[in-house]
Amino acid sequence: MRAPAPCRPAVFRRTRVLIVGCGDVGLRAAASLAPGLRVVALTSQAARAPELRALGLRPLVANLDEAAAVRRVAGLAARVLHLAPPPGQGATDPRTLALLRALALGRAPRTLVYGSTTGVYGNADGAEFDETRAVAPATDRARRRVHAEAALRAFGRRHAGPAGTRVTLLRIPGIYALDRVGGDPRERVRRGSPVLRPEDDVWTNHIHADDLARACVAALWRARPGRVIHVCDDTRLRMGDYFDFVADRFGLPRPPRLSRAEAASALSPMQLSFMGESRQLRNARMKNELRLRLRHPDVMAGLPAPG
């Protein structure tokens, strides 16, 4: 007669979700998860452990730049949300490689969702397109993301099958929210940062941080294997018009307008790189496959008027 299987405590039977890079969007995603899930937040900063614990998360302190420490994630969670940024230099992402090597040591997760960037497309001269467009990274910042995407796709192919890993790549444009550090568009307007004149201006794309978090959670359960998904809203505005709208909505002076030649002498290479890429993203996959209904369908809804 077979001995009965040991009864495991309920805490061990709950589905585990691992959030790698639990910053602003990661915390919003954690708050959007259904109750009853066990959420592990990987952070490289030990000082953040009390904060994460107070939010009901289990902190795991490990630096993606230290391979030995990262091995602790092996077999840890059935669903993994990877939001950690790559290093600040080079054309590859060794952090993602370290994470994938660690995940391969244990039972592979059922789903692995990666937060990438729409910068992988480079400049599209304002064209409107969906996820079938080929990547054309123009900066090392974008090349690092392309490298990470390729590694994740390869991981998904190696661990394919009914019980394998579904890898999903979320390509994300500019993230905004009035309560997001570094993502409040009023701050740029208050600084008086210039934008391009209309004839030189570029099309930009946006997503509210809360909607992005909800998309991340939806992808953990609903995304198809190997899919690329644009996570963006329905806004159709050029960059200058966007910041003019922000200024008008919050009673701030409109930003100065420069020609492209004037911008080249007045702005940093990083600022210029964002002003050199123009594209309009379609988001039908996000709406149809993730079944996500945006709470902030455009920046007009996402930036409510004061008072």
What separation in angstroms does the CA of 49 have from each of 17, 22, 52?
17, 11, 5
Angle between helix 140-158 and helix 94-103 axes, rounded to 10 deg: 10
Span 68-95, mean pLDDT?
96
Tell me which residue of 56, 45, 3 sits closest to 23, measured CA to CA: 45
How many Å is the maximal CA-CA distance in the chain?
Answer: 83
What confidence score (pLDDT) does residue 265 get? Answer: 87
Mean local confidence (pLDDT), 21-36: 95
Mean local confidence (pLDDT), 170-175: 98
Question: Structure tokens of 107?
Answer: 């039972």
Q: Which of 146, 39, 131, 138 lies closest to 86 in space, CA to CA?
A: 146
How far is C-alpha 179 from the chain's CA centre?
17
In tens, the pLDDT along 113-169 reads 999 999 999 999 999 999 999 999 999 999 999 999 999 999 999 998 776 799 999
Torsion angle defined by CA atoms of residues 86, 240, 129 and 273, in that order, rounded to the nearest 10 degrees: -40
Q: What is the mean pLDDT of the chain?
A: 93
Name the CA dihedral angle for 62, 66, 70, 72, rounded to a multiple of 10 degrees: -80
Number of other residues whose CB lies within 10 A of the CB of residue 125: 9
pLDDT at 162: 73
Whole-number percent of the chain with pLDDT over 70: 95
Q: List beta partners, residue 117.
A: 172
Asked if residue 8 has pLDDT above 70, the reply is no
Is the pLDDT assigned to residue 9 strictly greater than 70? Answer: no
Q: 274: pLDDT confidence band, cut at 50, 70 and 90? A: confident
pTM for this predicted structure = 0.94
Q: How far apart are CA 39 and CA 224, in angstroms?
A: 22
Categorize the per-residue pLDDT at 276 as very low, low, confident or very high, splitting at 50, 70 and 90. Answer: very high
CB atoms within 10 A of CB 122: 16
Give the confidence band of 4 by pLDDT, cuts at 50, 70, 90.
very low
CA–CA gap between residue 241 and residue 208 (Å, rounded): 18
Confidence (pLDDT) at 13: 53
What digits encode the pLDDT tens for the residues 231-271? 999 999 999 999 999 999 999 999 999 999 999 888 888 88
